[in-house]
Amino acid sequence: MNAPVFPELKIPDTIAAGPGPGNTAQRVLDAYHDQGVADHMNPDVLRGMIESKKMLREVWGTNNIHTFACAGTGWSALDMMFSVVHPGDKIVLFVNGTFSGIDELSVRMKGATPEELAANSLDPKASSVVTIKVPHGESVTGEIVEKALTEHKPKWAAMAHWETGSGRVNDIRGFSDACEKHGVMGLVDAVSSLGIAEFRVDDYPGIHGWASCPQKGVMALPLTYAPVTFTDTYIEELKKVGGRCFVHHPIMEARHWAIIEGQDVEKGTYHRTHSPYAVASFHEALRMVLEDGMLQRAEKYRTAEKALRAALTKMGCNVTSNMTSLLVLDLPDQLKGQEKDFVNKCRAENFCIWPTLSEPTQIRVGILNLLSEAELTEIVSRFGDMLNRFDYKTDVDAAVAELKSHLN
Ligand SMILES: *Cc1c(COP(=O)(O)O)cnc(C)c1O
């Protein structure tokens, strides 16, 4: 049988009001296609990678030489960061939602002994991996970390900075301090926070590896490069123990970004194929983040979140998150049990909000690159209209007025 030739694929324009990917700016999309055809060793492509590396050091707030980006999405960067964890390594994982839960699975796959992996390869039990569960809707605190590290004395500890599943900010200050105190090397999933939160990697000396993604705070939806940064201590340890993967090897992938033998060099060497489109759009997204300024950007998100929280609360919702790019909420009591239906009806109209992916079912409304008064007003109006269509009578105009009073 011949494969059919399908009609050209067309994808609609939606309001991407979820936890991520966000509403990527037209500038970034334009930079993707306004380029010539060139190969991965073209001097301008290599220059774009070197400039991106330098901009990333600014975005992360670090002098770490090994600061670059892993080709792929957030999980690619996390796979790279966890590549230093070997079978039998003692590691403590703090889990308070969907994403730190997947980080934990990923670490169990790496930390399991061959026998443990073979016994249940898709969900191995790894006796050297200690999981500290924190309930959905709560944050990982410094005390929780301190207590666990005192008790277990691991080599590594890991957690998410912002847990996107439940919208909670975890305490990286407490985490870093406890790691330093106990001589533990900290690893952080900063997929949701980079480009939104104001933090500087170099202020957290207990944390040695950081991994992020292209499409949340950095806003490069052409899923190109996932930012990573590693301290010299991490790189020394990796050199000593080795890694079992070529493509996500932090030292090897860094070479194409012109980081060789712990030094910035003039020109990168081949690691894998890079495209001018990917490099140019990522470069443009980083330029946009830095043009905003990290502090100003964090402030814009804080203001927008506070205003949207007030408007949704006015309509009877209960917000339980504390991230500034994402609101996780319960619908009014009367609509309990209808969360998924509510989200599906919004999504059918290209108003793309999300439910939580693990229990309990809540609703997630994100504001990545949706910070203008007009965009926030649209979110409040669409949400309020849907509440009314679910026979929950609410005053949408009053909610919009509430939103505006917090923006001005
Ligand atoms: C989104 C997210 C991920 C996964 O990132 P992808 O880009 O989908 O691979 C991992 N961790 C956290 C905290 C996230 O928010």
**Residues 191 and 160: beta-carbon distance below 8 Å:** yes
pLDDT tens by residue, 312-334: 999 999 999 999 999 999 999 99
pLDDT attached to residue 1: 67
Contacts of 6 (CB under 8 A, 6+ apart): none
Does the beta carbon of 16 sit less than 6 angstroms from any atom of ligand 1?
no
Does the beta carbon of 158 sit less than 6 angstroms from any atom of ligand 1?
no
Does the beta carbon of 275 sit less than 6 angstroms from any atom of ligand 1?
no
Mean pLDDT score, 114-140: 97
Can you read off the two tokens belonging to residue 57? 């050091």
Mean pLDDT score, 187-204: 97
**Residues 32 and 277: beta-carbon distance below 8 Å:** yes
Residue-range domain boundaries for the chain? 26-290, 294-407
Give the strand order in the sheet containing 207-211: 66-71, 225-230, 207-211, 185-189, 156-160, 91-95, 129-133
Does the beta carbon of 164 sit less than 6 angstroms from any atom of ligand 1?
yes
Ligand 1 midpoint to CA 99 (Å): 7
Ligand 1 midpoint to CA 107 (Å): 15
Q: Is the pLDDT of residue 153 over 80?
A: yes
Does the beta carbon of 73 sit less than 6 angstroms from any atom of ligand 1?
yes
Assigned fold of 26-290: Aspartate Aminotransferase; domain 2 (3.40.640)
Mean pLDDT score, 370-389: 97
pLDDT tens by residue, 13-38: 999 999 999 888 999 999 999 999 99
pLDDT tens by residue, 289-303: 999 999 999 999 999
Does the beta carbon of 74 sit less than 6 angstroms from any atom of ligand 1?
yes
Ligand 1 midpoint to CA 216 (Å): 9
Phi, psi (rounded to 5 degrees) for 4: -70, 155
272 annotated as belonging to a binding site for a ligand:
no
Nearest Cα residue to atom 8 of ligand 1: 74
Does the beta carbon of 192 sit less than 6 angstroms from any atom of ligand 1?
yes
Does the beta carbon of 210 sit less than 6 angstroms from any atom of ligand 1?
no
Does the beta carbon of 225 sit less than 6 angstroms from any atom of ligand 1?
no
Ligand 1 midpoint to CA 191 (Å): 5
Q: Which CATH superfamily, name and number, covers 294-407?
A: Aspartate Aminotransferase, domain 1 (3.90.1150.10)
Q: What percent of the chain has pLDDT over 70?
A: 100
Q: Is the pLDDT of residue 141 over 90?
A: yes
Atom of ligand 1 nearest to the CA of 216: 1
pLDDT attached to residue 219: 86
Atom of ligand 1 nearest to the CA of 161: 13
Does the beta carbon of 77 sit less than 6 angstroms from any atom of ligand 1?
no
Among candidates 317, 221, 256, 236, which has minimal Cα distance to 11?
Answer: 221
Among candidates 112, 240, 104, 101, which has minimal Cα distance to 164?
Answer: 101
End-to-end CA distance of the chain: 63
Can you read off the two tokens belonging to residue 121? 């390869």
Contacts of 400 (CB under 8 A, 6+ apart): 311, 377, 380, 381, 384
Q: Is the pLDDT of residue 408 over 90?
A: no
With bands split at pLDDT 50, 70 and 90, how would you rate the model's confidence at 2? confident
Mean pLDDT score, 379-408: 97
d(CA 42, CA 36): 11
Nearest Cα residue to atom 5 of ligand 1: 74
Nearest Cα residue to atom 3 of ligand 1: 74
Mean pLDDT score, 90-109: 97
